Homo-oligomer: A and B are copies of this chain.
């Protein structure tokens, strides 16, 4: 049992009689077959026995030459559309063409607005998320943003499919002139109105223009979604390069420090050796302490410097030279100057 609102244009207004009708009643009334009102596909637009049967997702409608019957309109946000948008569009008399043109235009415009709205919802979120994800300062991708991106690119895929289905259903009609002719209801039902209203205007041609117009608008939407998908792909590449770059920079720093630690360990071994409880000839030489200590620090510094320059030559860096310089300057200031002064320097950091 369907709740049916039949939108009928009157002289200056539009009436909205609502009725509860059974499917069979509807069929009898419009002399359609039960099969015609199954609305099996999510998007369809077919002419049957001087009615146009339309389904655009949640909107199910039957268009007769006199009225537009909207089925199951409750609770799907269609109520607002019926009153706020459909009524004014159908009431406007500016249109020189018969009712079915105005009604079909309203329905297709509604579908296109729905698609556009979905794109408008998804696009800024994706652009914002990508903007913050490709930020080169970011060391690691924000995980919640990745989740948002995934959700929205899923929505985008669904939108893409829906646009494609909408385009295909229009294209199928545009490809067959007979179906276009069938869609011009007034031409067949009311020859008098047809002749009057259309002095020199070919209804079928007008219908083709109307459908083509919406086809091209859907195509533009489709182009936008495709560009957005491409942008997501490109951005993902940039995110990967960014993360990899950060990793390389950190690995280089790590390697530089490992080189330093290696040098210190190597020369520290001398200190360890002199710390053994074994007899050396230097126990009582007062200069030995300073000589060996100096050699330890100086030697490890020089080896580190040599390793760093080896790494520098090996990787031929371009940006990272300063890093190395900063590090080694920090380090060498400790043994070239006296210890007291360097303590001073450090405490003033």
Contacts and interface: CB of A to CB of B under 8 A. Distances in A.
Interface of A: 40-42, 44, 134, 136-144, 146-147, 149-150, 153-154, 157-158, 161, 164-165, 213, 216-217, 220, 223, 226-227, 230-232, 234-255, 257-262, 264-269, 271-286, 288-289, 292-293, 295-297, 299-300, 302-303, 305-307, 310-311, 314-320, 323, 326-327, 330-331, 334, 339, 343, 346-347, 349
Oligomeric state, in number of copies? Answer: 5
B317 A296 contact: no
A276 B277 contact: yes
A268 to B, nearest CB: 5
Given A144-B136, A165-B223, A258-B257, A277 B283 contact: yes
A139 B278 contact: no
Contact of A220 (B42, B267, B272): B42
B260 A142 contact: no
A40 B273 CA distance: 83
Given A41-B217, A257-B259, A293 B273 contact: yes
A289 B320 CA distance: 40
Contacts of A232: 234
A139 B249 contact: yes
Instruction: List 6 A-B pairs, minimum CB-CB distance, nearest first.
Output: A136-B143, A274-B276, A140-B245, A271-B272, A278-B289, A273-B293
A216 B139 contact: no
A297 B277 contact: no
Contacts of A286: 279, 281
Nearest to A96: B33
B296 A273 contact: yes
B289 A285 contact: no
Contacts of A234: 150, 153-154, 157, 232
Contacts of A327: 310
A284 B273 contact: no
A262 B250 CA distance: 15
Nearest to A340: B295
Given A223-B161, A266-B264, A271-B272, A240 B245 contact: no
A139 B313 CA distance: 12
Nearest to A278: B289
A307 B320 CA distance: 15
Contacts of A164: 223
A323 to B, nearest CB: 7
B346 A299 contact: yes
A193 to B, nearest CB: 19
